[in-house]
Structures are given as structure tokens and as C-alpha cells.
Structure 1
Amino acid sequence: MKNPLLYCLAAASMALSFFFEHTPSATTASAPVAAEASLFAGFSLGEEEKPAAAASDSAAYDYYGQALGLHLARTENTTLLRTVLDWMGTPYRYGSNSKSGTDCSGFVTRVFKEVYGITLQRSSRSMFSSVKHVAKTEMETGDLVFFRRGPGQPIYHVGIYLKDGKFAHSACNGGVMVSSLSQAYYQRNFYAAGRVATN
């Protein structure tokens, strides 16, 4: 090898070239809601990046808090947090509820079945009629959050409240993600919160 530095620079150049050629371009004009709505759209970690059975509860909470953008109190349901993280980045697909694609109510029903063993109604409107309504200021991790587009309009969207004003959901312009209730779109369309009896 005549010039190792030259070979290193060439390799680095090829790697950067590959990265920029395969980075998706932004399409904010075609999906303004997705640009506003998502804090972690498409965020997912490979199996090798996940803790191997988390050395301790503290390590698990640190991991989930960092991955989901939450400040955890070490009392939250780690099964719920792990399940939500496992679904992150799943694309939106109307009428479906699998990891190849899911709509909002499909995501919620699958998470509740996996975490709590509870079978929820399939539509967001049906879910709303079967939960105990709670004030927005009293929401807890695992509560459902419902949205509608104005007074008298039907409920059209549901997600799972995490904490810190953030919730997990499957948005039509981004799939499964974590968003904030303080974002203008969700703040404007937030309707109510509900609690599912888990025992």
C-alpha cells in the first residue's frame, strides 16, 4: 500500500457519498402535518442497539426515556414503553394493525393486547365510548387521547399517552411516532382523554 492516508480518505469519501445518496429528501410541502406532528418519526433501533435484557431497571428506564424522549420517574410500565418503542417507525396503513402497517386504532388495540392482555374496540369512536373519561390535567401513562376536528365533529384519531405531554400514535403522514400535545395541530384538535380499566 503506497499511501495509506490516501486510501483512508478515499474510503471516507465513498462512505459519505453513499450516506448522502441514500438520505431521503424532505417533502415538507406534501406533508405539512407530518413535519409538524412528529418528534421521532421513523425512529427505530436495531436489535444490536437494544440493551441485552437491561442490566438493571435503572438502565432500562434510562434507555426507554432517551429513546422516546421522556423524563421517566422509574415507576412507569416498562412493558408499555418497550412495546411502543418496538412499533416506532411502522408505516401507516388504513384498516391494518400489523408491523408492516397500521392505522391509529389498530396500533392502540395491538399495544393494549400485547401489554395488558385487553381487547379494545377497533375504532377510535368505539374506544371513546368504553373508557372512563379523565381530565387532561389528570392523564397518566397508558391513558388514551382522542382527537376531533372541531365541535360537533366525530372523533377521528386516538393515541396512547406516555408522559411529559407526549403520546404515541400512528399518523397518516408518518406512521407510528411520538408527538407532543402542545404542538399546534394536536393542541387544536385534542378532544378528551380516557382510561381503560386494566384490572
Structure 2
Amino acid sequence: MKNRILYCLAAASLALSFFFEQAPAPATSGAPVAAEASFLPDFLSSDPDGGANDRASYRDSLQYSQYAHALGVKLEYTEDKDLLRTVTDWLGTPYRFGSNTKRGTDCSGFVTRVFKEVYGITLQRSSRSMFEKVQRVAKDEMQTGDLVFFRRGPGQPIYHVGIYLTSGKFAHSATNGGVMVSSLNQAYYHRNFYAAGRVARN
């Protein structure tokens, strides 16, 4: 509860600081008006016991809020921030078959690049090969960073892979829009979802 109050106070302080920085200083004042709105950050940093932790928690909460907004997901604020940041950086990258750069990438190329950047893990290049190397997990036990695989019906090969985020949402590179976040509850993905898998990380 204490942290929530501090976060609210800090947010209010940032808003006031922005307002005062945008307003011209009165002609009779020799000091910048923005200084008048800086007492709340000072208050947060004046706590010798928890000030540093509160500031770090506040920065974390801001980052999580930014990622939640960009990705369109509801976060628990315990997810891997490096993964969320990296996926966010890739959003909007166009689809390009056989490629894995920010000028264009296919689904498996996107997944391999994200795992290399975030975890230093080199995955197999195709979604089918990836599936052979992962540990299967139940759909209701998926965690952030698990892989989700799709096929077009029983007996059909796996043709698509994405990275599970949270709350039924996953990031992937789609042929009709490039890197984006979609829901497993969408009719197309719900129908074609095959399995989820977890990559071993040291």
C-alpha cells in the first residue's frame, strides 16, 4: 500500500514538473519555476531506509507500464523485462520470408533473434526444428517466454511459431502484418494452436 501511494505521488510530481517546465517563468522571479515542483522526488529520496528501493521500484513500474501499453497486454510486473523490451523493439518489423533482421523477418527468424538477444540462446532456424527441442508444457501452464506452435489440422506439419507473453497473448511475425501481438483466443489462432514448449535456460 505504501509503495502504491509513493508511486502515485511520484507520478503527480512528474506531471507537475512537466507543467511548470512548459510554463514561462514570471518576470519577477530569478529562479526556475520547475524547482517548485521538485519536492516530491526529494521526498522520495529522503527516506534513508527505503528511498533507493522505492525509486528503483518506481522506475520498474514505469517500464512495465510502457511495455504493457506498447504490447497491449496486462502485466503482473514480474515478467522478464528484457524480453518485453526486446519484443517491443521488434514491433512493426515487416514480414520477410527467410530473413531475421529488422528490415524484415519471418516467424522463426523473429523468435531466434529474440532468444539470442535476450537469453544468448541459439535456437534451430525452423519452427518444426524448434518444436523438437523444447519441453512440452500444458496450455494452462504457459509462462512468459514459452514458445507457441501452430499447425493447420491433425497430421499437418507445424508452420508457425511465436513467443508467449501473458494473458493469452503472444508475439510473432505474421505474413499479413509483420511482428505483432495477437491473442490465442482469436478464432484463427485458437483453431490452429497445436502446443506450447519451454526452452531450457541456464
Q: Do they superpose with TM above 0.5? A: yes
Give the TM-score band, short-chain normalised: 0.7 to 0.9
For 1:84 and 1:148, how far apart are their aligned partners in 2?
A: 23
TM-aligned CA deviation for residue 73 of structure 1:
1.1
For 2:92 and 2:75, how far apart are their aligned partners in 1?
A: 22
**2:184 is equivalent to residue 176 of structure 1:** no
Higher helix share: 2
TM-score (norm 2): 0.71
For 1:55 and 1:182, how far apart are their aligned partners in 2?
A: 33
Partner of 1:138: 141
For 1:71 and 1:186, how far apart are their aligned partners in 2?
A: 20
For 2:89 and 2:175, how far apart are their aligned partners in 1?
A: 19
SS at structure 2 position matched to 1:160 = strand
Q: Which runs of 5+ in 1 are unaligned?
A: 1-53
1:159 to 120, 140, 162: 162
**2:194 is equivalent to residue 197 of structure 1:** no
Residues 24-66 of structure 1: CA distance to partner in whole angstroms, max 9, x if unpaired? Answer: xxxxxxxxxxxxxxxxxxxxxxxxxxxxxx9711110111111
Count of residues in correspondence between the two structures: 147
Runs of 4+ residues over 2 Å off in structure 1: none
For 1:55 and 1:71, how far apart are their aligned partners in 2?
A: 18
Partner of 1:125: 128
Pairwise CA RMSD: 1.4
TM-aligned CA deviation for residue 70 of structure 1:
1.3
Partner of 2:3: none
SS at structure 2 position matched to 1:56 = helix
Higher relative contact order (CA 8 A, sep 6+): 1
TM-score (norm 1): 0.72
- Give the share of equivalent positions with the same residue, in percent: 77
Aligned ranges 1:2-17 → 2 under 5 Å? none
TM-aligned CA deviation for residue 126 of structure 1:
0.1
